[in-house]
Amino acid sequence: MQSTRKPMPVGVEDFKRLVTQGYCFIDKTRFIKDYIDAQGVVTLITRPRRFGKTLTLSMLQYFFGAEQGEENRQLFSGLDIEEAGERYMQEQGSRPVVFLTLKDVYAGNFSEMMIVLAEVLRKLYGSFPFLEESEALSPQEQQYFLAILNKTCDQGNLRFAISNLMAFLEKHCHKKPMLLLDEYDAPILTAWEKGYYEECIDFMRGFLSAALKTNPALGSAVLTGVTRISKESIFSGLNNLDVCSILSDSYADAFGFTQEEVARLMEECGVGDKLPDLKRWYDGYLIGQKEIYNPWSVINFVRHGCKFQPYWLNTSGNAILRDLLERVDSRRQRDLYGLLKGRPVEVPVMENFVFGNIGENRNALFMLLMTTGYLKPVEMWKDSRRQDWVRLQIPNFEVHFAYETEILNNIVPSQGEILLRDMLRSMAEGDTQEFAENLSDILRDFVSYHDAAQPESFYHGLLLGFSVLMDGKYKVESNKESGYGRFDIAFFPQKENAPGIILELKGAKSEDELETKAQEALAQIEEKAYGAEMARQGVREIWRYGIALCGKRVWLAGEHCR
């Protein structure tokens, strides 16, 4: 590790620039040794965004690339890969390398995507000027090369841009090239968000199959991305694919910072005392069995004077989380609220994504949240049918902040937050009338009739989600046994002499039943002694509320109990 007096490499994704321009860096070149030892033909590595995927592929390009190979050898002087021995350094500068990143292929529709991709491919071909007039290429091949450079290649032939380039390089260099494909799934994620997924997946299936499945010029390939798209969707028939996901031990510490690396970095920065808080904010990811820190957040933390704030979430927004929240039903919203309260979710492992199923499939939703970095695996096991299961929870405070912000913004827009806080305050103070008025206003302005069609389950999740604003003042429990039954929602005070709060919800078939149902809910709290657990914990005052709901209409009955 270099001296931390050097600048932090925020946004530096070129390996040569990193090691020659005085940046602080953590040596990850042991990944090259592990990769050579694995001898994989096509390796797919999935990690959350901003975990150093582009920088790692840049490192591979400078190591394996034959162009300026001797000059680039000095970049690895004194690093772990050189220490690994000459057997590995013999691979340095040994082959032509095609390095293509798709992370900037972002467009609002499929036609725009193809325009952007054509420009990306033009730049890629332009990085091999010697091929334009290579005697190894036939006139037809030179014509294709010029069509890519001039952006006159039609969509059908554009599918073969990578495979043809690799064939041209093999002919010219007499060696099979290596393909480095960064963020292969970025166009697909964008297409899913923007509504042209089917067109995109159809093109990408042919584009990648030509390069990886039916390409005799392929020497080896490393792909990176956030997700593993379903093999049936995009990798059908590709039998030489070695998938290294966040559940795999392969290359577990090659992306992100380990506990030991972060501890050394903090000591060299003179802020070793901040390590416990740093762990709470940015640690918590598990790659295989390795505990990993978010590298983007750590280097930004140091660069910005060791100030704790959500750096990772400010890079490209939380588009995936926001989009998912717009698609989920009330049951899955309740699962998300439970995560905020520290309750994990358990789902069968399903790492192959068919994006069309995510809106309906609970398991796909949470697996996508895991691969994109919003959840971490904390335990895996097999059930009686040998199906793998995983227990997931929020990894750290930075991501917790994203959930809290986006869940609230998805349910109640920012202009309603003051109203929401007023409602929670009045509930805690026992102002039944104001509580009822504020809740009624929120339901009127921010809840759709579609959501309100299943009143008890939806409103249970809604009120439980709102309760995140009361963290620090109350511990919120849901459906927990107390007395002779299970209460719906209870707020256990965290401060001495503060009142407890119990909510019991009932759906009404018509507005005429609202008052009766509210009184029934209130009476149920007394009859089933839901306050027993609070009394056992020494809570002396309890506000009890019976809440009846019918569509967007609400009736609230409350009473104070000492």
Position 274 confidence tier, pLDDT thresholds 50, 70, 90 = very high
pLDDT mean across residues, the chain = 86
Q: Where are the domains of the chain?
A: 40-49+95-244, 257-411, 418-561
Summarize pLDDT for 53-90 with one digit per residue, the tens.
999 999 999 999 998 889 999 999 999 999 999 999 99
For the ranges 139-153, 392-406, 516-530, which has the lowest average pLDDT? 392-406
Report which of residues 85 and 481 the model is more confident about.
85
State residue 168's pLDDT score. 97
Give CA angle at 484 (480, 490), nearest 5°: 35
Summarize pLDDT for 226-243 with one digit per residue, the tens.
888 766 567 766 777 888
Question: Which residues of 288-364 form beta strands (DSSP E)?
Answer: 290-293, 345-348, 352-353
State residue 26's pLDDT score. 92
State residue 231's pLDDT score. 61
Q: What is the largest CA-CA distance in the chain?
A: 93
Identify the three-state secondary structure at position 78: coil
State residue 524's pLDDT score. 93
Instruction: Report the interhelical angle of 186-194 vs 110-126 (nearest 10°).
Output: 160
What does the block give as tokens for 174?
């007499």
Find tokens 């792909």 and name the residue: 223
Summarize pLDDT for 493-528 with one digit per residue, the tens.
888 888 999 999 888 888 899 999 999 999 999 999
Summarize pLDDT for 301-335 with one digit per residue, the tens.
999 999 999 888 765 545 666 666 666 666 676 77
Question: Which residues of 22-76 form beta strands (DSSP E)?
Answer: 42-46
DSSP string, 519-551: HHHHHHHHHTTTTHHHHHTT---EEEEEEEEET
Could you give the CA distance from residue 531 to residue 534 in angstroms, rounded to a whole number?
A: 5
Summarize pLDDT for 11-61 with one digit per residue, the tens.
899 999 999 998 988 999 999 999 999 988 999 999 998 899 999 999 999
Percent of the chain with pLDDT over 90: 49
Q: Which fold has domain 40-49+95-244?
A: Rossmann fold (3.40.50)
State residue 297's pLDDT score. 94
Could you give the CA distance from residue 210 to residue 225 in angstroms, rounded to a whole number?
A: 19
Hey, CA dihedral for 121, 127, 132, 135, is it positive or negative?
Answer: negative
What does the block give as tokens for 457?
């389950």
